[in-house]
Amino acid sequence: MKILDRETVTRLDELPNIGKAMSHALQLIGINHPQMLVGKKPFELYHALCAKSGKRQDPCVIDIFMSVIHFMEGGDPLPWWFFTEKRKKQSSHNKNR
């Protein structure tokens, strides 16, 4: 198994949890390089993707965005479903405001 180095990775589809479809989705919203994920907000990326694609995306896309941002900001490469509970808590928190 190849060890991924967040400092030298250059392709989106080399990131954990990112395949061709998610790579294309990120490019659709202007993310063309893994380093561009640093400092981004997963929910904002999700809403941008929904707007740009013209359809509501599966909420699990937020989990994927959370996972790659987490990784690019120094976290361990974790499976996207690790972030599902955190996303659900943040979603309900945002609705209660």
Angle at CA of residue 58, ends 25 and 35, nearest 5°? 35
* Number of domains the chain contains: 1
CA distance 68 to 18: 8
Asked if the structure places residue 4 within a domain, the reply is no
pTM above 0.85, yes or no: yes
Mean pLDDT over 73-85 rounds to: 96
Asked if the structure places residue 29 within a domain, the reply is yes
| % of residues, the chain, pLDDT over 90 | 84
Q: What is the DSSP letter of 40?
A: -
Asked if the structure places residue 46 within a domain, the reply is yes
Asked if the structure places residue 24 within a domain, the reply is yes
Asked if the structure places residue 73 within a domain, the reply is yes
Give pLDDT, residue 4: 77
Asked if the structure places residue 6 within a domain, the reply is no
Domain span at 28: 12-95
Mean pLDDT over 52-71 rounds to: 97
